[in-house]
Amino acid sequence: MAEAASDMLAPAGRVVMLSGASRGIGLAIALRLSAEGYFLSLGVRTPTAAGLAAFPPERVLIHRFDATQPQSAQAWLDATLARFGRLDALINNAGILRPLDLRSGDEAVLDEMWAVNVKAPYRLIRLALPHLEAGGHGRIINIASTDGKRYRDTVSVAYAMTKHAVMALSHAAKFAGWEKGVRVTALCPGAVDTELVASIPGVTPSANRLAPETVGETVAFLLRLPNTASVAELVMNTRLESWI
């Protein structure tokens, strides 16, 4: 009996927008997707960052994107469409972590994290959704966190609040685009071995953290899944916990 043809989506010709791609998880994702053959539009605060020099300019657009500046989202999307003429996936990776608890710290920290971690992906999804719907196989991946699935008292309450909000945003986007083929995943890694977590008290030891490349490989897999295989949430924990 002949083997059934795979219904996985091929990377060829597909265009992906990825925020926060100059280092850490974002850079690892970008390198993996570039190797797969996607056209990439990388939104970064510093387009001249050293880590971006390796990308082939004929397949990769590097554009300034500042998550705290609403107008930069539209400018980035416009530049992507002008360059590639289509959009197939949006990966909201840009994020920040600042310490804050209920007894100490400045509330401005919460405002800063809310702007970057929640409002920026919300804004990009709203702008990108019509273009993702147009192809019938649009994809949105929001890089959330295991801290969006529970609360630990060693974690910044502001960070946990924003990542819980990203989970809600992901499900809202799933419902908004479902009928036109858009599938949305909230990807929730535990501690990833990047600068973001290096100085946090009580963080998972470096040897036990996820490699950024592991997250990149997971994103590549999610982008290939067909419309009939929706993964609403994917938790990648680095520690043993009772329910995640």
**What are the pLDDT tens digits along the chain (244 aa)?**
344 457 999 999 999 999 999 999 999 999 999 999 999 999 999 999 988 998 999 999 999 999 999 999 999 999 999 999 999 999 999 999 999 999 988 999 999 999 999 999 999 999 999 999 999 999 999 999 999 999 988 889 999 999 999 999 999 999 999 999 999 999 999 988 877 666 666 677 777 889 999 999 999 999 999 999 999 999 999 989 998 9
According to the model, what pLDDT value does residue 216 have?
97
Q: Which of 38, 122, 151, 159 is catalytic?
A: 159
According to the model, what pLDDT value does residue 100 have?
93
Tell me which residue of 96, 54, 121, 111 sits closest to 195, measured CA to CA.
Answer: 96
Beta bridge partners of 140: 90, 184
According to the model, what pLDDT value does residue 3 have?
41
Dig out the tokens for 167 from the structure.
């989970």
According to the model, what pLDDT value does residue 200 have?
67
Tell me which residue of 188, 187, 184 sits closest to 227, measured CA to CA.
Answer: 184
According to the model, what pLDDT value does residue 153 have?
86
Domains of the chain and any CATH numbers: 15-236 (3.40.50.720)
159 is an active site residue: yes
